[in-house]
């Protein structure tokens, strides 16, 4: 007789939530404390809807990393409300934040952060440990994710045996394997030559066509222009062409 049962993994994002934005910021600010406080993000209001590809572009020091850390649930805003899949993240404890981050956000960074002594398929499947899926199911999902990024044939290669572009595609497969609500990319082509960068950007275009929600942070205008909507960040202020200040009522 089985007395113990493994907890059921959370169902894939597509079956969890159907309505409303994936991400919703309402007057979100972050001020770093210190003898001279820095207002790194100032009253940001914007949203990302399901299936959208939004890019955020800004110069060095404009607040991109600050914004990314809040969206990625790695830091909390000083004021304002951040909802992810309708969940008010301000109400969550640290452990709940970590669980939400692990399940709903797929990260792709400039540096690929792959484990050097693990094969491509191991890198992807190990990232799914928290889902509660069994080893065989994890391997299958990892293989499917590698197929999706065109690297099924390289599943047993080590990162050192792969090009930069291939490594970033493994990192994208890893981010996708648990079917996150949002793919959050931080300068994903920053370490790549032009040809590999084009391949990675093309892959993201294709994933987006399949319905993936993507938010990409970049300082590169040509990368930013690939999204279907671009938000600028200047000195901690978001400039979103979709958010128009309502004119005061005429009396």
- The residue ranges that bind Mg ion (CB under 5 A) are 64-65
Does 239 help bind ligand ADP (rule: CB under 6 A)? Answer: no
The structure tokens listed for 176 are: 């996708």
Min. distance of Cβ 78 from ligand ADP in angstroms? 12
By a kind-dependent CB cut-off of 5 to 8 A, residue 159 interacts, out of ligand ADP, Mg ion, none, with none
Does 188 help bind ligand ADP (rule: CB under 6 A)? Answer: no
Min. distance of Cβ 53 from Mg ion in angstroms? 21
Does 111 help bind ligand ADP (rule: CB under 6 A)? Answer: no
C-alpha to C-alpha distance for 230 and 213, rounded to whole angstroms: 14
Binding to ligand ADP in span 43-72, by CB under 6 A = 58, 60-66
Q: Which is nearer to ligand ADP, 64 or 169 (CB)?
A: 64
Min. distance of Cβ 57 from Mg ion in angstroms? 12
Does 110 help bind ligand ADP (rule: CB under 6 A)? Answer: no
Q: Give the footprint of ligand ADP on this chain (CB under 6 A).
A: 32, 34, 38, 40, 58, 60-66
């Amino acid at each position: 007789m089985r007395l113990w049962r493994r907890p059921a993994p959370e169902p894939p994002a597509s079956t969890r939530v159907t309505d409303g934005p994936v991400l919703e910021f309402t007057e979100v600010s972050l001020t770093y404390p210190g003898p001279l406080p820095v207002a790194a993000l100032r009253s940001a209001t914007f949203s990302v809807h399901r299936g959208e590809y939004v890019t955020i572009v800004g110069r060095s020091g404009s607040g991109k990393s600050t914004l990314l850390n809040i969206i990625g649930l790695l830091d909390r805003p000083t004021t304002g409300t951040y909802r992810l899949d309708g969940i008010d993240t301000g109400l969550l404890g640290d452990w709940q934040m970590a669980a939400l981050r692990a399940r709903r956000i797929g990260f792709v960074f400039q540096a690929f952060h792959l484990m050097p002594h693990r094969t491509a398929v191991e890198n992807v499947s190990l990232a799914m440990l928290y889902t509660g899926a069994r080893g065989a199911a994890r391997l299958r999902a990892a293989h499917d994710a590698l197929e999706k990024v065109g690297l099924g044939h390289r599943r047993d290669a080590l990162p050192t045996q792969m090009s930069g572009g291939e490594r970033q595609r493994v990192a994208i497969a890893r981010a996708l394997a648990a079917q996150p609500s949002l793919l959050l990319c931080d300068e994903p082509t920053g370490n790549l030559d032009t040809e590999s960068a084009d391949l990675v950007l093309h892959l993201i275009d294709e994933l987006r066509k399949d319905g993936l929600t993507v938010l990409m942070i970049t300082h590169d205008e040509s990368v930013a222009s690939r999204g279907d909507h671009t938000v600028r960040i200047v000195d901690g202020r978001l400039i979103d062409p979709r958010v128009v200040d309502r004119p005061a009522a005429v009396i």
